[in-house]
Chains A and B, each alone.
Chain A
Amino acid sequence: MSSSRTESEASRFELAISYLLIIGVISSLILVGIGMILFYFHFGRLEISEKEAMFLREQNFFYFFLDLLRGGPGQDKAIWLMTLGIAMLILTPYARVILSVFHFIGKGDIKYTFITLFVFLLLTVSLILH
């Protein structure tokens, strides 16, 4: 009885994770889409630009994301919206891993809690140190 309730809770949790991620992806794409429309109206074209401002560059992804939120849209709303959408899209699988850690902790699966934590650390180090 208790075991089947735990399984059902785990299944609900998995479903909640997948819906959360779908919402994350859709929100990111809406932001990118609005950004692209504004970009078109502002510059009169939508083509691949080699301008310096179009390239994203940062050593630490988290600083990059926080600066983006703190800085706000400013004058370049189109570029800001596209960057925010892309940053959210990049963060989606990361959020998936964090939620998976809780999923395995909730299931009492110590082995996979550690394996998932290892993947989480690997990704975090990669996002911070590069």
Chain B
Amino acid sequence: MKERIANVRVGIYLGMYTTVGAIIGATVTTLISPVYLYFFFAAFLTTSFIRLAGPKSADFTHSQSQDRVSGWLDLRGSYYDEALQKTVSYQANNALLGGAGMLLAGLAAGMLGIGAGAFKVTVQENILKLPPKVSSTTSNFIIGLTALAGTSVYLYSGLLNLTLMGPMAVGTTIGALMGGRVLNKLRDRPLRILFFMVVAFLIVQMLYKGVMSI
């Protein structure tokens, strides 16, 4: 059902940028010292906090105008929002600037081996002016493309460890399925506090590892 909320056109258009970014990012990772990655990871994680102040589905307002490039790319759509019990129509804006943001997201994803989903959602919501639900579901689609592009570089470099990937693949999928079920039952505030705590812990951990590696 999420596929019906996700906008395939937006996904493919933005996926073009993240793919290029991920290939460059993963290549850079194979060439530089891991010490820089710890600091870059910590710095990039701070962008997740922008998401905490992001809009809610109910806050979304339909943009009346659309720039020429976004219009030419036909970046618009609609979906039925069950929580709001109405069809939400939307049209994207700033396609080129959004593309640049996605290039950066792809670069970070390729370098750090992460999905950079929070950053991708932030770009879609704040630059492309897409509704939060469309942004999150379309982001899942783009993450797959970004991961594939980065993985090809890691495969060539011999950095893919089976004993690490196996449990991670199974664990993250089970976690995602459980999270998806719990999500609707959780209120927004505790969820944001939990997210803040996890990200803050990761930032401290990365900074600590970086400093200890110098």
- Is there an interface contact between B19 and A123, defined as CB atoms closer than 8 Å? yes
- Is there an interface contact between B161 and A130, defined as CB atoms closer than 8 Å? no
The range of chain A's interface size is 35 or more
With A32-B166, A55-B161, A55-B162 in contact, do A17 and B3 touch (Cβ < 8 Å)?
yes
- Is there an interface contact between B16 and A83, defined as CB atoms closer than 8 Å? no
**Smallest Cβ-Cβ distance to A79: which chain B residue:** B162
Measured in the bound complex, the distance between the Cα atoms of B171 and A72 in whole Å is: 26
Question: Which of chain B's residues have a CB closer than 8 A to the CB of A32?
Answer: 166, 169-170
With A36-B167, A85-B169 in contact, do A59 and B12 touch (Cβ < 8 Å)?
no
- Is there an interface contact between B12 and A56, defined as CB atoms closer than 8 Å? no
Measured in the bound complex, the distance between the Cα atoms of B8 and A127 in whole Å is: 23
- Is there an interface contact between B16 and A115, defined as CB atoms closer than 8 Å? yes
With both chains docked as a complex, state the minimum distance between the C-beta of A63 and any C-beta of chain B, in angstroms. Answer: 11
With both chains docked as a complex, state the minimum distance between the C-beta of A20 and any C-beta of chain B, in angstroms. Answer: 11
Measured in the bound complex, the distance between the Cα atoms of B157 and A130 in whole Å is: 9
Question: Which of chain B's residues have a CB closer than 8 A to the CB of A100?
Answer: 8, 12
Q: Does A93 contact B (CB under 8 A)?
A: yes
Question: Which of chain B's residues have a CB closer than 8 A to the CB of A66?
Answer: none
With both chains docked as a complex, state the minimum distance between the C-beta of A9 and any C-beta of chain B, in angstroms. Answer: 15
Question: Which of chain A's residues have a CB closer than 8 A to the CB of B4?
Answer: 11, 14-15
Select which of B20, B153, B159 is within 8 A of A55 by beta carbon.
B159
- Is there an interface contact between A86 and B153, defined as CB atoms closer than 8 Å? no
Question: Which of chain B's residues have a CB closer than 8 A to the CB of A56?
Answer: 155, 158, 160-162
- Is there an interface contact between A115 and B13, defined as CB atoms closer than 8 Å? yes
Measured in the bound complex, the distance between the Cα atoms of B144 and A28 in whole Å is: 15
- Is there an interface contact between A112 and B9, defined as CB atoms closer than 8 Å? yes
- Is there an interface contact between A103 and B162, defined as CB atoms closer than 8 Å? no
* 6 A-B pairs with the lowest CB-CB distances in the bound complex, closest first: A93-B144, A57-B158, A130-B156, A18-B3, A56-B160, A126-B152
